[in-house]
Structure 1
Amino acid sequence: MIPLIKTRMPEPQRLMPVLEQVLYSGYVAQGEKVELFERSFESFVGAGHSLSVNSGTAALHIALILAGVKPGSEVISTALTAEPTNVAIKMAGARIRYADIDRQTLNINPASIRQNISDATSAIMVVDYAGVPVDIEGIQEISRNSGLPVIHDAAHSLGSRYRGRRAGCHFPLTAFSFQAIKHITTIDGGILQVADKSEYDRGKLIRWFGIDRTRTRLENNIQLQGYKYHMNNVNAAIGIVQLQDAEWIIDRHIDNGQYFDRALCGVPGVQVLNYYDGSEPSYWLYSVLVDDRDGLERKLAEHGISSSVLHRRNDLHDYLNDFRQELPVLDDVYPRLLHLPCGWWVGAKERDQIVDVIRSGW
């Protein structure tokens, strides 16, 4: 079976000596390896300050706090995402106001964001769904005109670009995930990329119980709510080795995704996505809209190819549906949405097989 998602680890001869050194160093908590991973990730992104955490959800939660989201306020978000995007909003005590999606990209639609802004709105959450960049300039314009902060959930889009600049460079707060099945994994973990140094410093306090780790415990005076969200040296050591392969991994996803863009365009019953000008997806998944999704999913499975809608639209969860809104584009698109494998493990033979099966009809 060609899997839809797969965990990748570096070769044992590269990873295990690094892990062994950390595990038997006498210090496995947050330390020098975490610092090195953060600085290495800053170089990879090309801008901002990297705040490592123990999950992408933790990164989103800190981002919401830094953005000033308060209990009882509203955050505009998308229902087409993995649940942590919107669970984090509830963790901040806010209510979720869904904007509809753009049927061409499956991402949150700036026009719908504008329609949902109210006096209760405290922030906007945007997601690069499946690795496809959002309408960055459109959302930046909304933020400038409204004064609302934007939190960028880039859990799916490590290495994607807009006008040559990578995800993490476009908004003040960008959250990345290194959960088991992302482009790269630290087993679990995440990073919040913060543009402003003072906000980065405040994020470090929130990450560790409100305690300033540059001072002794006796010198500290906690003045804000903090959490146990830090990354440890073990996860960071894995991340350091993984980052050495990040370019290669992402390039494999991109090469496969662009192949599918060409090979599936015009196939009866299949609609490929259209990306915003200047956008370069990193294709965590390859998303298509198809007629008779269940039929195609069965046909692919019969030929040893895994496919799935993967994510339950978040407004189907009672806890994540505060306003029972109408989302007509999502209603139309969701029954036709299917994700195909396009990761580093998909070679030329496998991707040809996927295309041949789809072209043969279902």
Structure 2
Amino acid sequence: MKSKDHLALHGGKPVRDSYLPYGKQWLDEEDVKAVTNVLTSDYITTGPVISEFEDAIASFVGAKYAVAFSSGTAALHAACFAARIKESDEVITTPITFAATSNSILYNNGTPVFADIHPQTYNISPKAIKPLINKKTKAIITVDFTGQPAEYDEIMSQAKKHGLIVIDDAAHALGATYKDQLIGSIADMTMFSFHPVKHITTGEGGMITTNNKEYYEKLLSFRNHGITRNPMKLQRRNEPWYYEMQDFGFNYRMTDIQAALGLSQMQKIDTILAKRREYAKKYNHAFEKMDEIITPFQQTYSNSSWHLYIIRLNSSKLKSGRTEIFKALQKENIGVNVHYIPVYLHPFYQKLGYQKGVCPHAEQTYQKIITLPLFPKMSEQDLDDVITGVKKVISYYSIY
């Protein structure tokens, strides 16, 4: 018989004595040394390490160009600018993402159009994209949610047919592959985020990779107030000190301090990816036979980079909803989270005229998902604690 003392929520002993966050950076002495070296050098803002970091990312993903930015959001803003998104343009994207994805469209005065998700992968559905394309459509912004790539064959085919630009928000997907091709070399432009919970970190930071030289040059200009010193682009060339602001831009530059950290972090990217995949595999093995939860579905032709591990509650097998289970896991000192509230349900977007019901699969999925801790600095004991905690809570709330 299950008593109320069974759960920490009701006064029992929690699985863990200390709180385990859902994500956390992994820094070591080499990272500290790399940053210290920059701090004692001649450059701490815009210096040579930025180019080294850009080259490292471009080489890793197999892209011709990479441009670093002060944040992932800044990078997305720049990508939309390079795509010439403007007022009256529509951009199709997914509602299951952080607000920055669609906000970047608004920054350029475009209109976000939300396409529903695939009910298994939680990525934007190519079938949902197709009927939304019209004469106003300028681009598609995909999101490789949790680290699993979107369905790029069909998406790129639709984009090519209608002359659309594809921007990949790959904030979750550094190191992920789609049909053996690394994310970062498939879409017209791809954004990577270096927030502390991502695969590698620069504190804050982002990067756009592309194989298109025109986009590359626009990205470089945009992050630096639209200013150029390139003699081949200047309208006047008389004075050696001369520079020109030729477009509208922002101060979105990354610092050498950030780049040094990112460059150091890239030295352990293979280890980071291996650990994330190993931990996800152990979660799958632990939970796959539990009727009360649904483990993440993975396309056989993709290899996720596993930024997030998300379980979906099977409400027909549980006597309580997501809120009670979420609170119970927190009481066990397991730092669960939810990714994400569908963007158009936020008050700001409601004020813009977006209404509930636009993407039913996204809304239904949001009501049932919980993100579990997953990061490479987790210990085996941390992993075991999460598994024990989930089984304990789910068992308590099971209808059986």
- The two structures have a TM-score, normalised by structure 1, of 0.94
Moved more, 76-85 or 317-326: 317-326
Provide the rounded CA distance (Å) in 2 between the counterparts of 1:357 and 1:317: 31
The one-character-per-residue Cα deviations of 1:167-202 (angstroms, maximum 9, x if unpaired) are: 101111000111222111101111000111232122
Asked whether the 8 Å contact 2:54–2:66 carries over to 1, the reply is: yes
1:357 aligns with 2:386: no
Asked whether the 8 Å contact 1:10–1:241 carries over to 2, the reply is: no
Following superposition of structure 1 onto structure 2, how do residues 282-361 of structure 1 map, counting pairs within 5 Å? 282-290=305-313, 291=315, 292-321=321-350, 322=352, 323-324=354-355, 326-360=358-392, 361=395
Provide the rounded CA distance (Å) in 2 between the counterparts of 1:33 and 1:167: 23
The one-character-per-residue Cα deviations of 1:47-70 (angstroms, maximum 9, x if unpaired) are: 231101101111111111111211
Tell me the CA shift for residue 18 of structure 1: 2.6
Q: Aligned to 2:34, what secondary structure does the other structure show?
A: helix
1:240 aligns with 2:263: yes
Provide the rounded CA distance (Å) in 2 between the counterparts of 1:53 and 1:345: 26
Moved more, 288-297 or 120-129: 288-297
Asked whether the 8 Å contact 1:256–1:351 carries over to 2, the reply is: yes
Provide the rounded CA distance (Å) in 2 between the counterparts of 1:228 and 1:9: 27
**Alignment partner, residue 25 of structure 2:** 7
Provide the rounded CA distance (Å) in 2 between the counterparts of 1:17 and 1:279: 36
Provide the rounded CA distance (Å) in 2 between the counterparts of 1:217 and 1:252: 52
Asked whether the 8 Å contact 2:70–2:254 carries over to 1, the reply is: yes
Structure 2 gap ranges (5+) = 1-18, 232-238, 316-320
Provide the rounded CA distance (Å) in 1 between the counterparts of 2:304 and 2:119: 16
Moved more, 46-55 or 305-314: 305-314
Provide the rounded CA distance (Å) in 2 between the counterparts of 1:347 and 1:15: 20
Asked whether the 8 Å contact 2:83–2:215 carries over to 1, the reply is: no
Provide the rounded CA distance (Å) in 2 between the counterparts of 1:101 and 1:171: 19
Following superposition of structure 1 onto structure 2, how do residues 99-138 of structure 1 map, counting pairs within 5 Å? 99-138=115-154
Provide the rounded CA distance (Å) in 2 between the counterparts of 1:89 and 1:140: 19
Provide the rounded CA distance (Å) in 1 between the counterparts of 2:264 and 2:175: 16
The one-character-per-residue Cα deviations of 1:287-322 (angstroms, maximum 9, x if unpaired) are: 111133223223322332121214332111233354
**Alignment partner, residue 175 of structure 1:** 191
Name which one, 1 or 2, has greater alpha-carbon Rg. 2
Q: Aligned to 1:124, what secondary structure does the other structure show?
A: strand
**Alignment partner, residue 206 of structure 2:** 190
Tell me the CA shift for residue 74 of structure 1: 1.1
Provide the rounded CA distance (Å) in 2 between the counterparts of 1:342 and 1:119: 42
Tell me the CA shift for residue 217 of structure 1: 7.9
Following superposition of structure 1 onto structure 2, how do residues 17-96 of structure 1 map, counting pairs within 5 Å? 17-96=33-112
Provide the rounded CA distance (Å) in 1 between the counterparts of 2:118 and 2:291: 22
Asked whether the 8 Å contact 1:296–1:358 carries over to 2, the reply is: no
Following superposition of structure 1 onto structure 2, how do residues 224-263 of structure 1 map, counting pairs within 5 Å? 224-263=247-286
Moved more, 135-144 or 15-24: 15-24
Counterpart of 1:41, as a letter, is I
Asked whether the 8 Å contact 1:61–1:88 carries over to 2, the reply is: yes
Tell me the CA shift for residue 36 of structure 1: 0.8
* Count of residues in correspondence between the two structures: 360
Provide the rounded CA distance (Å) in 1 between the counterparts of 2:285 and 2:133: 38
Asked whether the 8 Å contact 1:77–1:108 carries over to 2, the reply is: yes
Change (3 A) 1:288 1:24: same
Q: Aligned to 2:244, what secondary structure does the other structure show?
A: coil
Structure 1 runs, 4 residues or longer, greater than 6 Å off: none
Q: Aligned to 2:44, what secondary structure does the other structure show?
A: coil
Asked whether the 8 Å contact 1:87–1:320 carries over to 2, the reply is: no
Provide the rounded CA distance (Å) in 2 between the counterparts of 1:84 and 1:15: 28
Supply the RMSD in Å over aligned alpha carbons.
Answer: 1.8
Q: Aligned to 1:227, what secondary structure does the other structure show?
A: coil
Q: Aligned to 1:142, what secondary structure does the other structure show?
A: helix
Counterpart of 1:236, as a letter, is A
The one-character-per-residue Cα deviations of 1:9-48 (angstroms, maximum 9, x if unpaired) are: 222xx23333222222232121111111111111221223
Q: Aligned to 2:219, what secondary structure does the other structure show?
A: helix
Tell me the CA shift for residue 274 of structure 1: 1.7
Q: Aligned to 2:122, what secondary structure does the other structure show?
A: coil
**Alignment partner, residue 153 of structure 1:** 169
- The two structures have a TM-score, normalised by structure 2, of 0.85
Asked whether the 8 Å contact 1:69–1:122 carries over to 2, the reply is: yes
